[in-house]
Structure 1
């Protein structure tokens, strides 16, 4: 197979979450274990860090990978979904897997795939693990796809587990209470393996403590370990002052972060706490932390996290797609000086769109669109829903067309935000 043939085979034969939603989700580890067994169990052949959470797990994973890379290590990074190309999901020191390697994997494993009948995601996880084992990474940072306990990535035994936060998302799969969602994500906690919790709220604290205790897993709270404060923007990057709360070692870090969203402060606290507990395994000095943070976009190709696309008017793209994510993005927008706010919006239909719309300002200018995905909420349906809440705007046939109209209407001092779905942001030509 060629690369294009291999990708078409995976998309056409296997259920793909971003196309069909929850029906593509195959909970349980049987398929991925069978796939990996056929590959010689590559998941046992490299060290790993496992990252789960409702929001922030992608940024946290990229930051960890970038800092470890800056410290001189050979670092694998597995994330999902991709924005522009499938090969973004599997990286080695910031270099995506070669298209030829994807084609070879699918060609060689076609018979096994057809025998096991896994999901698209299960195949990509097995492919990533085989890639990291073959290239003998020093460590791989593995982002959970959905949930944790039954996620295909949960066949690894990591050096450290990280759970960024718990919020309302995928309730039809993970549960309809925050403790239920927390229990699913806490399923990545392994016996004796330390776990870092990025954000703890009253409703989830007891869940984490109980599951960690059952597994005799030391539990650490990021907010009790590090405190990061915002020193504003300078030279296009956010300036953070990060202070260790107690303990020895470097007490204060000055971090320059090209990820401009204020919500990244919590992610950085989580990353710094994780690095503290990776110290027995890796030598990571202050300069590696500062360089890895500053160069995270360049070193790991991270896109769509409050990404600055242009000035005058300012255009920001963010993949936020649920209530806590949109709340965080709107807080970050409020921190940027601007005259008027223009929102280019599109959602998938299986989100609580009404709840998210209620978070958006009534006085913003709205441009509604939809991604080219069967899961996308149709533009006219979104426009009608928004109008019923007092948020009025026109509909457009593509994300680029909606952004082009926003650019025509915005003044140089205005702010344009493109958000609502990973798949909407992915279709921006300017990304």
Structure 2
């Protein structure tokens, strides 16, 4: 099989959560453990950092990868889902996994695929771990796919765990309350391994404290360790002045990730770096600051408040749940523009009703559907939106919706694309 035939085989043969939803989620680690045992347990052959959370785990993973790469370490990065190319999921020093490795790995594992019937995600995790082990990375940043406790990535023993935040998402799998969801995410906390919680949330703080205590794992709440003194957006960079909570000199950071929601993530990253420095990782402050100003260039991160045009200002953001859309709308409140155009679509298993309640009613909407089986029909979405006072038109494709928004927008307007990774991917 060539590369495209290999991808076609994976997409058609293996259940893929991003396409079909919960039926692809395996509620145990059996397949991942079995696949990795057949490969000689590659997950034990490199050091790692494990990152979970509802929102922010992707940005946090990329920032940590940028820091390690800038400091001179050979750095693996595993994230999901991808936007344009499957190989975005598995990178070393920002470079995507070679197509030849993908095809040879799948060919090697084909008998196991036919025997075990793993999910797409389970096989991808095994592929990433094998690649990182064979390439002898110094460290790999591993982003959880869904939840934590039963996620396929949860067979590593990391140097450090990071949990960004908890909000309502994937309740059909993770639970209907924040404490239930937090308990699943807390499943990545390991005995004696430090854990950073990026954001203190009163309702679930005790879930993490109790879990960490039961495993004798040192716990750090990042937003209790740092104070943001300055915060402004300038020339596409988020300019921050940040002080240690217990006193010390102010760090001035310039992030090339311009979403205001990155402020929460950056505190988690800084706390993680501080712990890693104490573990004798050579991460000089100068390298940390340089890395954070070039995250996109160092890691290939896309789709986080990404400006792709200035007239009209056109922004792509993969925010897709209640907390993610809340952050987007909050940032819009601080912006000056003539009119807002929102290109949006969702998947069927999201709490779409709650999310639509957050959107600004004064905007013009372009409702569409990504080309995946899991996508919510654009006409159903428009009806749900109308019940919330949101007005617009429906389009049978993302590209049609995006082109219509661009055509109707004045050069002083904003065109925002959000609601799903897949909507953003199709605009790209």
TM-score, structure 2 as length reference: 0.98
Q: 2:90 is matched with which residue?
A: 90
Q: 1:266 is matched with which residue?
A: 264
Structure 1 residue 43, shift from structure 2 partner? 0.2
Within-5 A mapping of 1:246-257: 246=246, 251-257=249-255
* Long gaps (5+) in structure 2: none
Structure 1 residue 229, shift from structure 2 partner? 4.8
| Stretch moving more, 279-288 or 91-100 | 279-288
Q: 1:354 is matched with which residue?
A: 353
Equivalent residues of 2:329, 2:360 under 8 A apart? no
Task: Provide closer, same or farther for how the CA distance between residues 330 and 230 of structure 1 changes in structure 2, counting only shifts above 3 A.
Answer: farther
Task: Provide closer, same or farther for how the CA distance between residues 79 and 409 of structure 1 changes in structure 2, counting only shifts above 3 A.
Answer: same
Work out whether 1:332 is the aligned partner of 2:331.
yes
Within-5 A mapping of 1:263-342: 263-279=261-277, 280-342=279-341
Q: Where has structure 1 moved over 6 Å in runs of 4 or more?
A: none
In structure 1, distance between residues paired with 2:317 and 2:65? 21
Equivalent residues of 2:157, 2:190 under 8 A apart? yes
Task: Provide closer, same or farther for how the CA distance between residues 36 and 281 of structure 1 changes in structure 2, counting only shifts above 3 A.
Answer: farther
| Stretch moving more, 121-130 or 276-285 | 276-285
* Long gaps (5+) in structure 1: none
SS in 2 for 1:153: coil
Within-5 A mapping of 1:6-405: 6-246=6-246, 251-279=249-277, 280-405=279-404
In structure 1, distance between residues paired with 2:22 and 2:191? 30
In structure 1, distance between residues paired with 2:229 and 2:405? 33
In structure 2, distance between residues paired with 1:95 and 1:295? 15
TM-score, structure 1 as length reference: 0.97
Work out whether 1:418 is the aligned partner of 2:413.
no
Per-residue CA shift, 1:14-51, capped at 9, x if unaligned? 10111110000002111100000000100000000000
Structure 1 residue 62, shift from structure 2 partner? 0.2
SS in 2 for 1:373: coil
In structure 1, distance between residues paired with 2:317 and 2:385? 20
SS in 2 for 1:390: coil
Structure 1 residue 81, shift from structure 2 partner? 0.3
Task: Provide closer, same or farther for how the CA distance between residues 277 and 21 of structure 1 changes in structure 2, counting only shifts above 3 A.
Answer: same
Per-residue CA shift, 1:201-221, capped at 9, x if unaligned? 111111101100110000000
Count of aligned residue pairs for this structure pair: 427
Equivalent residues of 1:228, 1:266 under 8 A apart? no
Equivalent residues of 2:3, 2:99 under 8 A apart? yes
Structure 1 residue 114, shift from structure 2 partner? 1.4
In structure 2, distance between residues paired with 1:33 and 1:228? 42
